[in-house]
Structure 1
Amino acid sequence: MSARRLWAIVLKELRQMRRDRITLAMIVGVPVMQLVLFGYAINFTLRDLDAGIADQANTAASRAAVMDMLATGVVSPVATANTPDELMAMIRAGRISIGIAVPPDFERRRIDGREAIQVLVDGSDTAVQGAAAQLAQTPLDPGSVDMRAPHSSTPRETPIGVVAFYNPERRSAVNIVPGLIGVILTMTMVLFTGVAIVRERERGNMELLIATPLTRSELMIGKVLPFVAIGFVQTTVILALGVWLFDVPVRGSVLDVYLASGLLIIANLTLGLLISTKAQSQFQAMQMTFFVFLPSILLSGFMFPFAGMPKLVQWLAEVLPLTHFLRLIRGVMLRGASLVEMWIDVLALVAFIAVMMSAAILRFHKRLD
Structure 2
Amino acid sequence: MGKRLKRFVALVRKETIQVLRDRSTLAMILVLPLIELFLFAYAVDMTVDHIPTAVADMSLDAQSRAFLDALQVSGYFDIEIYVESEAQVIQAIDKGRVRAGVVIPPDLATQVERGRGQVLMLLDGSDSFTVQSGYSAAVAVAQAQAMELMVEQVSRMGASAGSLPIESSITAVNMMAMAVVRERELGTIEQLLTTPIRPMELMVGKMVPNIVIASISMLSIILFGVLWFGVPFQGDPWLFAWLSLLFLASALGMGLLISTVAQTQRQAQQITMLLMLLSMLLTGFIYPRTPMPPAVRAVGDMIPLTYFVRIVRGIITKGVGLSFIWNDVLSLAIYGAVVMIISAATFKKRLD
Paired residue type of 2:128: T
8 Å contact kept, 2:127–2:162: no
**C-alpha displacement of 1:99:** 0.3
Work out whether 1:129 is the aligned partner of 2:131: yes
Paired residue type of 1:135: A
The more displaced of 194-203 and 123-132 is 194-203
**C-alpha displacement of 1:118:** 1.8
**C-alpha displacement of 1:322:** 2.6
For the structure 1 residues 101 and 114, does the alpha-carbon distance in structure 2 shift closer, same or farther, using more than 3 Å as the test?
Answer: same
8 Å contact kept, 1:253–1:332: yes
TM-score normalised according to structure 2 size = 0.74
SS where residue 117 of structure 2 aligns? coil
Aligned to 2:190: 206
In structure 1, C-alpha distance between the alignment counterparts of 2:329 and 2:267, rounded to whole Å:
31
Work out whether 1:252 is the aligned partner of 2:235: yes
Q: Deviations over 1:191-216 (max 9, x none)?
A: 22113443454424336437647464
**C-alpha displacement of 1:51:** 0.8
In structure 2, C-alpha distance between the alignment counterparts of 1:335 and 1:315, rounded to whole Å:
26
For the structure 1 residues 92 and 137, does the alpha-carbon distance in structure 2 shift closer, same or farther, using more than 3 Å as the test?
Answer: same
8 Å contact kept, 2:283–2:289: no
Q: 1:138 aligns with which of 114, 136, 141?
A: 141
In structure 2, C-alpha distance between the alignment counterparts of 1:136 and 1:323, rounded to whole Å:
31
Aligned to 1:289: 272
Work out whether 1:344 is the aligned partner of 2:316: no
Structure 2 unaligned blocks of 5 or more? 1-43
Work out whether 1:92 is the aligned partner of 2:75: no
**C-alpha displacement of 1:363:** 2.0
Aligned to 1:162: 150
8 Å contact kept, 1:175–1:330: no
In structure 1, C-alpha distance between the alignment counterparts of 2:82 and 2:68, rounded to whole Å:
12
- For residues 198-347 of structure 1, what are the structure 2 equivalents within 5 Å? 198-202=181-185, 203-206=187-190, 208-209=192-193, 212=196, 214=198, 216=200, 219-300=202-283, 302=285, 304-306=286-288, 311=293, 313=296, 316-347=299-330
8 Å contact kept, 1:69–1:140: no
Paired residue type of 1:333: I
Q: Deviations over 1:151-191 (max 9, x none)?
A: xxxxxx452523222567xxxxx423334432332222112
Aligned to 1:32: none
Q: Alignment RMSD, CA only?
A: 3.2
Aligned to 1:58: 60
For the structure 1 residues 298 and 222, does the alpha-carbon distance in structure 2 shift closer, same or farther, using more than 3 Å as the test?
Answer: same
TM-score normalised according to structure 1 size = 0.71
SS where residue 348 of structure 2 aligns? coil
In structure 2, C-alpha distance between the alignment counterparts of 1:318 and 1:162, rounded to whole Å:
36
Larger Rg over CA atoms: 1
**C-alpha displacement of 1:275:** 0.8
Aligned to 1:152: none
Aligned to 2:20: none
In structure 1, C-alpha distance between the alignment counterparts of 2:329 and 2:350, rounded to whole Å:
36
**C-alpha displacement of 1:258:** 1.7
**C-alpha displacement of 1:269:** 0.5
SS where residue 251 of structure 1 aligns? coil
Paired residue type of 2:316: M
- Length, aligned pairs only: 306
Paired residue type of 1:194: A
Paired residue type of 1:124: S
**C-alpha displacement of 1:240:** 2.1
SS where residue 78 of structure 2 aligns? strand
**C-alpha displacement of 1:329:** 1.7
In structure 2, C-alpha distance between the alignment counterparts of 1:130 and 1:244, rounded to whole Å:
23
8 Å contact kept, 2:45–2:129: no
8 Å contact kept, 1:194–1:275: yes
For the structure 1 residues 219 and 286, does the alpha-carbon distance in structure 2 shift closer, same or farther, using more than 3 Å as the test?
Answer: same
Paired residue type of 2:149: G
In structure 2, C-alpha distance between the alignment counterparts of 1:162 and 1:319, rounded to whole Å:
39
For the structure 1 residues 260 and 161, does the alpha-carbon distance in structure 2 shift closer, same or farther, using more than 3 Å as the test?
Answer: farther
Paired residue type of 1:351: I
Q: Deviations over 1:255-314 (max 9, x none)?
A: 233234223211210101111111223333233222212332455455x44469854655
**C-alpha displacement of 1:247:** 1.9
What percent identity do the matched residue pairs reach? 30
Q: Deviations over 1:55-76 (max 9, x none)?
A: 2233455344323322222111
In structure 1, C-alpha distance between the alignment counterparts of 2:153 and 2:142, rounded to whole Å:
24
SS where residue 340 of structure 2 aligns? helix
